[in-house]
Chain A
Amino acid sequence: MSDREVIIRVENLHKRFGRLEVVKGVDIELHKGEVVVIFGRSGSGKSTVLRCINFLDDPTRGTIEVAGVRLTGGFRTRRKREQIRKLRLHVGMVFQQFNLFPHMTALDNVRVAPVCAGLKDNKAHAIELLDRVGLADKANEHPIRLSGGQQQRVAIARALAMRPEAMLFDEPTSALDPELIGEVLAVMKSLATDLHMPMIVVTHEMGFAREVSDRMLFFHEGVVWEEAPPEKIFEATEKPETRKFLDAVL
């Protein structure tokens, strides 16, 4: 679509759980500074694709390329395991259930990965990131004492701590109370507009998609059923399945 640099490239991705094929040949390109929203019914393979990109689930077949690290699906060898780790350093992930480490303070949650990687000045950077998500004053709180929205913002700061070149958001607001969704979406929007962070967002927040995303992918039965800019998806979708889904959620 454009000649901008490709940060994430997914080619012919297949994922099978036992006899059930969840993803049946998906191609995605994420360019520098681009926001892509993935939406679709539950079970359409959206989250699985996201988890395959950083190998939390191993692709059955296909190729994943993140910031120049190119890996194919299938069996994990020792060499591949190390490359998977390298690939993960280039891409941050935010989970539906936050998955903050409950035994660490917010600050330590953000710092732990840089400390493990031996990065210098990790404390100052962590405080800077907490400040970016508006939680510098909560640095020494444990996650249990934070609201869901605050926890998810810490999780975003944590994902940014390794200075990733792209971000993956797996339904980041689905576990939140309605009044807390806004603060998380605002942080995500600031990442897109201020930092020009490339990101793939699996979400049902159509307002966010319309406002922030450059492209939307409608997943249906394990394939990309429709791919278009948000204006086109919302105003003039060609596919009846997309229309039907949008009518149901809007």
Chain B
Amino acid sequence: MGDRLERLAVSSARIPFRLKVALVWVVIFAFLGFFFWVAKFDTDWMLDNFTFIAKGLQYTIYIALGGIAIAIVLALLGALARISSNPIAFGISGFYISFFRGTPLIVQMFLIYLALPQIGTNLHVQYPELFSRQFEDSLVLDPAVAGTLALGLNYGAYMTEIFRAGIQSVAAGQGEAADALGMTYRQKMRRVVLPQAFRVIIPPTGNEFIAMMKDTALVSFLGVSIQHAEVFRRAGLVGKADFKNLEALVLAAALYWGLTIIFTFFQRRLETRVSRGYVRTEPLRTAELPSEELSDLPPHGKGGGG
């Protein structure tokens, strides 16, 4: 048997490796198709419900984009606090990171969705003159908003470490050179340190975004209304209603998978883009462009005088 396999390996040595791998994938999909056929896979039902479930992609992407936006802001602030010598900033960011990395994401979601309103009610009942009715109502969040907030807070805590490492990966001499030129802290960060740090930060942030797109499925546990439901919630709803859980879940999985494949492709391109200007073998394109990055900015920049 082993002998035969080895002979097969030798005789196929001229077929490119990638082609062989592609063949393996084809075989896997063929097996899956066969399996689904045997398991009485209802493709008609899938076609009927595809649009309904796929419409959830919109909300999946909204939640992920909202979450990553919150996470990036928090991670940047957290990282700057983490490398500062200010004990208050350092302490707060330390608490934030520890709590949000130390508790499950689903617990955080329910804390924000269910526990927060209770705090509002109790405060309103106890101190009605301090905490108004509006305050109480403002803590009752839409499930999608609560989920987005929880995702942002949670991923922000993890990404703080990515941002901190990225900032610290910029050579100390860079900051010193900016200091020696009389730049303010904000100018130094904006013009010198962060642009270099982002080169290191962007690829893992893309990974976090892709991971977050999958974690948006957790928001469905908060019970989003059907019109605004994301992929997994929709799949669950129709799957249970028609006893077609297999079809619904396979459809949901395929949609998430497709989404991550697309974004992984874009992330790769972004990665090669941000590493430009560091590669000596780059064609001379950079030399032909006029140096306009700085001249487009107003003379003071945004960090001027700060």
Give chain A's interface residues, CB within 8 Å of chain B.
Answer: 54, 56, 85-86, 88-89, 92-93, 95, 97, 99-105, 107-108, 111-113, 115-120, 123, 139-142, 144-145, 155, 158-159, 161-162
Q: Which B residues are CB-close (under 8 A) to A108?
A: 291, 293-294
Q: Which of B176, B181, B291 contacts A140 (CB 8 A)?
A: B291
B182 touches A89 (CB 8 A): yes
In chain A, what residue has the closest Cβ to B187?
A116
A117 touches B182 (CB 8 A): yes
In chain B, what residue has the closest Cβ to A51?
B176
Q: What would 7 A/B residue contacts be, using CB atoms closer than 8 Å?
A: A89-B182, A115-B297, A116-B303, A140-B291, A144-B280, A145-B287, A159-B181
A-facing mask of B268-293, CB < 8 A → 1, else 0?
A: 00000000011110000011111101
In chain A, what residue has the closest Cβ to B174?
A99
B299 touches A118 (CB 8 A): yes
A85-B184, A88-B180, A116-B187 known; A102+B291 contact, CB < 8 A: no
Complex Cα distance, B291 from A97, in Å, reads 24
In chain A, what residue has the closest Cβ to B299?
A118
A56-B176, A144-B280, A145-B280 known; A85+B290 contact, CB < 8 A: no
B196 to chain A, nearest CB (A): 6
A116 touches B301 (CB 8 A): yes
In chain A, what residue has the closest Cβ to B290?
A140
Q: Which A residues are CB-close (under 8 A) to B177?
A: 93, 95, 99-101, 155, 158
Q: Which B residues are CB-close (under 8 A) to A158?
A: 177, 181
B295 on interface, CB distance cutoff 8 Å: yes
Complex Cα distance, B173 from A85, in Å, reads 17
Q: Which A residues are CB-close (under 8 A) to B291?
A: 105, 107-108, 139-140
Q: Which B residues are CB-close (under 8 A) to A107?
A: 291
A144 touches B181 (CB 8 A): no
A99-B176, A103-B196 known; A141+B287 contact, CB < 8 A: yes
Interface residues on B, range: 35 or more
B174 to chain A, nearest CB (A): 6
Q: Which of A93, A140, A161 contacts B289 (CB 8 A)?
A: A140
A95-B176, A123-B295 known; A113+B181 contact, CB < 8 A: yes
Complex Cα distance, B177 from A36, in Å, reads 22
A109 to chain B, nearest CB (A): 9
Q: Which A residues are CB-close (under 8 A) to B180?
A: 54, 56, 88, 92-93, 159
Complex Cα distance, B196 from A104, in Å, reads 10
B33 on interface, CB distance cutoff 8 Å: no
In chain A, what residue has the closest Cβ to B192?
A101
A-facing mask of B81-119, CB < 8 A → 1, else 0?
A: 000000000000000000000000000000000000000
B133 on interface, CB distance cutoff 8 Å: no
B176 touches A120 (CB 8 A): no
B183 on interface, CB distance cutoff 8 Å: yes
7 nearest interchain CB pairs? A113-B181, A99-B177, A99-B173, A93-B180, A89-B182, A88-B182, A118-B299
A-B CB pair tally, cutoff 8 Å: 99
B179 on interface, CB distance cutoff 8 Å: yes
A102-B196, A108-B291, A116-B301 known; A88+B277 contact, CB < 8 A: no
In chain A, what residue has the closest Cβ to B274?
A103
A215 to chain B, nearest CB (A): 24
Q: Which B residues are CB-close (under 8 A) to A159?
A: 180-181
Complex Cα distance, B173 from A39, in Å, reads 22
A113 touches B304 (CB 8 A): no
Interface set, chain B 192-231, CB cutoff 8 A to A:
192, 195-196, 199
B240 on interface, CB distance cutoff 8 Å: no
Q: Which of A93, A102, A115, A117 contacts B277 (CB 8 A)?
A: A102
Q: Which A residues are CB-close (under 8 A) to B199?
A: 103
B20 on interface, CB distance cutoff 8 Å: no
Among B179, B279, B300: residue with most chain A CB under 10 A: B179
Complex Cα distance, B303 from A92, in Å, reads 22
Among B277, B289, B294: residue with most chain A CB under 10 A: B294
A115 touches B181 (CB 8 A): no
B185 to chain A, nearest CB (A): 9
B191 on interface, CB distance cutoff 8 Å: yes
A103 touches B280 (CB 8 A): no
Q: Which B residues are CB-close (under 8 A) to A116?
A: 181, 183-184, 187, 191, 301, 303-304
Complex Cα distance, B294 from A85, in Å, reads 22
Complex Cα distance, B181 from A159, in Å, reads 7
Q: Which of B179, B289, B295, B303 contacts A88 (CB 8 A)?
A: B179
In chain A, what residue has the closest Cβ to B179?
A56
A101-B174, A101-B177, A140-B290 known; A113+B183 contact, CB < 8 A: yes
A186 to chain B, nearest CB (A): 23
Complex Cα distance, B176 from A144, in Å, reads 19
Q: Which of B173, B191, B195, B286 contacts A105 (CB 8 A)?
A: B286
A89-B182, A145-B280 known; A118+B176 contact, CB < 8 A: no
Complex Cα distance, B8 from A221, in Å, reads 74
Q: Which A residues are CB-close (under 8 A) to B196?
A: 101-103
A162 touches B181 (CB 8 A): yes
